[in-house]
Structure 1
Amino acid sequence: MDINQLIADGAKILDVRSEAEFNEGHIEGSVNISVNEIQSRIEEVKQLGSPLIVCCLSGGRAGVAKALIEAAGVKQVYNAGGWESLL
């Protein structure tokens, strides 16, 4: 799947790094919900819609978040890896 095309088509970007990491730099328009908060904020995540592009620093936490989000029933969740790859 072409992540850039998904973004161009309006997909939301979910950055699952900590708030401090997010504040040091992030993709404009992305939403920050730490991977540690995904389960407790899953309704908020679902409201972002799909497709949903998940990123973090290197892709590890995004992979965990992707699995949690998919387990909650959200379809079309993509791990973009590190957020800087989306610049």
Structure 2
Amino acid sequence: MINILKQLFKSEPKPDYSELLKNGGIIVDVRTKNEYAAGHIKGSKNIPLNSLNHNLAKLKKKDQSIITCCASGMRSGSAKSILKNLGYTNVHNGGGWRNLERKIS
């Protein structure tokens, strides 16, 4: 049981988000349009989580670095899982957008 829990909650090394962006990566903000309008990371794409499956054309390459973000990291974690299950190979949960913004500045 403990091994299963360790596998479920194992942490991956945090990538250098700035480096991913310099090399053609994108930020996908999965908050609602109203949340996004109230503040967001410059240059990020707003694709709300509930419409992610219908907007995959906005994510052109399945091997492109994609950093998901939201308000706290929960929805962006879900978005990462969805994208990984759809064959996107280089997806990272950036967590809350304000914290991510500090990391890439």
Same fold per superposition (TM over 0.5): yes
Superposed CA offset, 1:23-70 (max 9, x none): 00001110000000011222333x165111100001000010111111
Query: Of the candidates 34, 43, 59, which is equivalent to residue 57 of structure 2?
Result: 43
Match of 1:23 in 2: 37
Query: Of the candidates 61, 65, 68, which is equivalent to residue 75 of structure 2?
Result: 61
TM-score (ref. length: structure 2): 0.75
TM-score (ref. length: structure 1): 0.90
Paired with 1:35 and 1:17, the residues of 2 have a C-alpha distance of: 7
Gaps of 5+ in 1: none
Match of 2:19 in 1: 5
Secondary structure of 1:78's match? strand
CA root-mean-square deviation:
1.4
Question: What letter corresponds to residue 30 of structure 2 in structure 1?
Answer: V
Relative contact order, higher structure (CA 8 A, sep 6+): 1
Gaps of 5+ in 2: 1-14
Secondary structure of 1:41's match? helix
Q: % of aligned pairs identical?
A: 37
Give aligned pairs, total: 86
